[in-house]
C-alpha cells in the first residue's frame, strides 16, 4: 500500500507519517516544504501548494493521498485579503492535487477539513452532525468548504474516492497555539476566573484523529463520505482546565465567576471572540463515524491529556 501524505512536517501530518511508517505493508511518500525524516519514507519537497503545483513525481506508484497540508487558520489574520490567500492554497491547491491524483489512477483521496465548515458555535446539547447544511463564517472555513465541494465533484466526474474528515480542536504531542498556551498557564499555577463555565466543547486527541484517518484509508464504507472527528466526550471549559491540571500533576486554581460577567468584561476589552471560544459551546456528533466505520476513539480525554503533557514535557 503506497500513500502520499502532504503536510508531512505539520502537526497532524508528521504524527500520521510516524505512525504509518511502523506498518510493514505501508510505503510512504512525504511531501512538505522542508525535509521530512527520511526513515519514514520517500521525501518530496514542495515549495508551495496552489493550482500550479506539479505532483506527478510524488504520485508515482501511490494508491492513496492523505491531504493534511493547508493554509492554517490564523486568529486575527493580518493579510489584506485573507479569503483569496486561503482559496489559493486550500481550494486551488487541493483541487489541483485531486485532479492529478485522479488522472494518475489513484484510488482514494482523504481530505482533512475542519469543523469550521459546519460553523463556529452550537447551542448547548445540539451538536453539529455530518449531515448539517454547512455554514462556515470565516475565510478559513469558507475555503475548506469550497475545497470539499470541489473534491466531491471530482469524485462524481472521475471515480476517485473522496473521504472528508472534519476535526474540531486537535491536541496532542507537538500542539501549538492557544491550547499549548493554556497548558503553560495551568502548569504555572496561574489562577483563572473560569471555575463556573457550563458550556460544552468537543475536542479530538491527535492519536484519535490519526487512528480515524488510518481507518479511512481502505474502509469500503468511507468512500465519498463526510465524517466528524472527536473524542466522544464533551467538556466544559472548567472541566477541561481541571483535566489539564490533573494531567500536569497540579491542583486547578479556578475562580468561579459567572460567564455573563466574563463576557461583559471581554466585550469592554475588545476580546469578545476569545470569550466566545472560552464560554460558548461547540459540540460534534460522531455517531455516523462510529456506526459507518465501526470506529471507537482509542484514547479517552483523560488519556489524551495525560499523553499531551508527557510528550510535550521538554517544551515547558
What global pTM score does this model have?
Answer: 0.93
What's the number of domains the chain is made of? 1
Residue 223 pLDDT level (bands cut at 50, 70, 90): very high
Residue 236 within any structural domain of the chain: no
Residue 36 within any structural domain of the chain: yes
CA distances (Å), origin 313, targets 114, 176, 246, 258, 276? 28, 13, 14, 33, 29
Parent domain of 107: 2-166
Residue 275 within any structural domain of the chain: no
Kindly tell me if the per-residue pLDDT of 40 is higher than 60.
yes
Residue 282 within any structural domain of the chain: no
**Three-state secondary-structure class, residue 114:** coil
Query: 310: exposed, middle or buried (C-beta count within 10 Å: 0-12, 13-18, 19+)?
Result: exposed
Residue 264 within any structural domain of the chain: no
Measured over the CA atoms of residue 147, residue 152, residue 155 and residue 160, the dihedral's sign is: positive
CATH number for the domain spanning 10: value is 3.40.50.720
What is the structure's pLDDT at 200?
95
Give percent above pLDDT 70 in the chain. 95
For the chain, the distance separating the N- and C-terminal CA atoms, rounded to the nearest angstrom, is 39
Residue 138 within any structural domain of the chain: yes
State mean pLDDT over 151-164.
96
Residue 71 within any structural domain of the chain: yes
Quick one: how far is CA 164 from the chain centroid?
Answer: 11
Residue 101 within any structural domain of the chain: yes
Measured over the CA atoms of residue 266, residue 269, residue 272 and residue 277, the dihedral's sign is: negative
Positions annotated as catalytic residues are 140
pLDDT single digits (tens) 77-125: 566 688 999 999 999 999 999 999 999 999 999 999 999 999 999 998 8
Question: Which grid coordinates belong to 301?
Answer: 480525554
What is the structure's pLDDT at 313?
67
Amino acid at each position: 500500500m503506497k500513500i502520499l501524505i502532504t503536510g508531512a512536517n505539520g502537526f497532524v501530518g508528521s504524527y500520521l507519517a510516524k505512525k504509518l511508517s511502523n506498518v510493514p505493508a505501508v510505503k510512504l511518500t512525504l511531501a512538505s516544504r522542508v525535509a521530512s525524516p527520511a526513515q519514514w519514507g520517500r521525501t518530496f519537497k514542495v515549495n508551495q501548494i496552489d493550482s500550479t503545483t506539479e505532483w506527478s513525481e510524488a504520485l508515482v506508484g501511490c494508491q492513496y493521498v492523505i491531504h493534511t497540508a493547508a493554509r492554517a487558520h490564523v486568529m486575527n489574520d493580518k493579510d489584506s485579503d485573507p479569503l483569496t490567500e486561503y482559496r489559493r492554497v486550500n481550494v486551488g491547491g487541493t483541487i489541483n492535487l485531486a485532479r492529478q491524483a485522479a488522472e494518475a489512477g489513484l484510488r482514494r483521496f482523504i481530505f482533512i477539513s475542519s469543523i469550521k465548515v459546519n460553523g463556529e458555535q452550537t447551542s448547548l446539547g445540539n451538536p453539529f452532525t455530518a449531515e448539517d447544511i454547512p455554514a462556515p463564517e470565516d475565510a478559513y472555513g469558507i475555503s475548506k468548504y469550497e475545497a470539499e465541494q470541489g473534491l466531491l465533484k471530482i469524485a462524481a466526474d472521475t471515480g476517485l474516492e473522496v473521504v472528508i474528515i472534519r476535526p474540531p480542536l486537535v491536541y496532542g504531542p507537538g500542539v501549538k497555539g492557544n491550547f499549548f498556551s493554556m497548558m503553560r498557564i495551568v502548569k504555572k499555577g496561574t489562577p483563572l476566573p473560569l471555575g463556573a463555565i457550563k458550556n460544552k466543547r468537543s475536542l479530538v486527541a491527535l492519536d484519535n484523529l490519526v487512528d480515524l484517518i488510518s481507518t479511512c484509508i481502505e474502509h469500503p464504507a468511507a468512500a465519498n463520505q463526510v465524517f466528524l472527528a472527536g473524542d466522544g466526550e464533551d467538556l466544559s471549559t472548567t472541566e477541561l482546565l481541571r483535566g489539564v491540571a490533573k494531567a500536569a500533576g497540579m491542583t486547578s486554581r479556578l475562580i468561579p465567576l459567572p460567564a455573563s460577567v466574563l463576557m461583559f468584561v471581554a466585550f469592554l476589552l475588545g476580546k469578545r471572540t476569545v470569550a466566545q471560544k472560552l464560554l460558548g459551546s461547540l459540540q460534534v456528533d460522531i455517531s455516523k463515524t462510529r456506526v459507518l466505520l465501526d470506529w471507537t476513539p482509542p484514547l479517552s480525554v483523560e488519556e489524551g491529556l495525560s499523553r499531551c503533557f508527557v510528550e510535550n514535557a521538554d517544551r515547558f
